[in-house]
Structure 1
């Protein structure tokens, strides 16, 4: 179905604000120690990046970009700049930044993970899988990388392999909301909306679940025709601007050539 294909692309290429996403090791949140290649705050603002609106994100990207331009070998500046570029939809530029950072820090696991994230956001999915694989170490596996690998596999339509990676991530980090959310979205992609909702509700109930998890839950509920409930969830804990963007996105997804109504009506527990 064209709607599924289009949505699968949106999942990797979307930004954190106003777009519902599979998490490639997490969007930038205040829990920066648990996200790969993301920043919680910028030096020019005391506000968490995840709470910034589009204008503030662009301003933060410009500020961090100047720091990066002054010293392209600065690992953290490169990571921060690429993350902000992705959050503002400048995926090709983010990839170019991470290519340079990876040249200067070729063995750094966090750099490789962020590089893979940028490759995926730019649509280079097979390359992203290879890069994420190089970042992983079998003796000390990283749950964030397992989840990121699963998200990329889902974009490639390899849902069985993706879910295995999510479950491996959950073995390493039980009840991690971002991983449970990814698992739920994996089922949504194969039209099993009830199972998707179950995992997304579990994700949303976990301590530390962020707004992106609840927005994914709103989508799963909305696709089942319970739009008022979905809209209520979509408006929680967001600024008015963010809430309107997410509600508009929900409405657009549900009305797009009737594809999502058809998806909901065809929900028959398919987990292929």
Structure 2
């Protein structure tokens, strides 16, 4: 209370007989106010506040859920939302740490396993990503985005046959999955099968939501097949001439055995 603070300040500079008067205990009203402030500081936000914050931008969400997590690291909802918001702002390593810690409290949580696996994948920890994503898919086999991420993780660890089987499994359930068609094409390229890759990349390009990534992946494979004019024509609609020339030169270099760099290819991942 402002009056109480002023009275204590007055007491601090007073002398003599005023000292006894200054020693008065806080009033019941002051005690109640202090208890209210303390409870509001440590209590979690209301359900309404939590619902409202989910409509805000990722940085605002990360700040809010970070405070909620700090109040109670055992709050699974706060931890899950904090990890999600961290991924949204690009802090995948920290998101993986939060998800991993919280899984010790709720080991079978499919959402946390998914967050952990995708965060590890984005952070470059491929081996652990494979393990987490396999667990996530076992916990929720309806989530095809987990299966897609697992395929990318397999490819990045050199397990191309397992990756291809994973993409084909998705395509059995969703034949129009643009990312899976494209990733299967890239994986076949990585395993030295550019002719087979072309088939799937052409299907990817034909999908309504296909974009620059899919067209450039197809242009790359056409170049690897030595069909540079087709690759140039396909690229020309998306890139300036100077960039098209650079890409064609790069793809030509990939055909030279001593400079093959297929290992730099990376598939796309649905969040």
TM-score range, shorter chain: 0.5 to 0.7
Higher Rg of the two aligned structures: 2
77 and 139 in structure 1: CA distance in 2 versus 1, 3 angstrom threshold: closer
In the alignment, what sits opposite 1:185? 186
Is it true that 1:79 corresponds to 2:74 in the alignment? no
Q: Which has the higher contact order (CA 8 A, sep 6+)?
A: 1
TM-superposed deviation, 1:131: 0.5
Is it true that 1:255 corresponds to 2:253 in the alignment? yes
Give the Cα–Cα distance (whole angstroms) in 2 for the partners of residues 78 and 173 of structure 1. Answer: 29
In the alignment, what sits opposite 2:98? 100
Q: Gaps (5+ residues) in structure 2?
A: 1-54, 70-77, 263-271
Output the TM-score relative to the length of structure 1: 0.58
Q: Please report the RMSD computed on the Cα atoms of aligned residues, expressed in angstroms.
A: 3.5
257 and 188 in structure 1: CA distance in 2 versus 1, 3 angstrom threshold: closer
CA contact (8 A) 1:112 1:132 kept: yes
Give the Cα–Cα distance (whole angstroms) in 1 for the partners of residues 198 and 184 of structure 2. Answer: 10
Is it true that 1:126 corresponds to 2:116 in the alignment? no
Give the Cα–Cα distance (whole angstroms) in 1 for the partners of residues 65 and 142 of structure 2. Answer: 31
CA contact (8 A) 2:99 2:112 kept: yes
Alignment of 1:107-256 (within 5 A): 107-137=108-138, 140-236=141-237, 248=246, 251-255=249-253
TM-superposed deviation, 1:175: 2.5
227 and 164 in structure 1: CA distance in 2 versus 1, 3 angstrom threshold: same
Task: Provide, for residues 51-105 of structure 1, a one-character-per-residue CA deviation record: whole Å limited to 9, x for no partner.
Answer: xxxxxxxxxxxxx3454134324545642442452xxxxxxx4222232145347
For structure 1, which segment, 146-155 or 100-109, has the greater mean C-alpha deviation from structure 2 after superposition? 100-109
Number of equivalenced pairs: 194
Higher helix share: 2
Q: Gaps (5+ residues) in structure 1?
A: 1-41, 45-63, 86-92, 265-272
TM-superposed deviation, 1:142: 2.6
Query: What SS class does the counterpart of residue 175 from structure 1 fall into?
Result: coil
Give the Cα–Cα distance (whole angstroms) in 2 for the partners of residues 223 and 143 of structure 1. Answer: 30
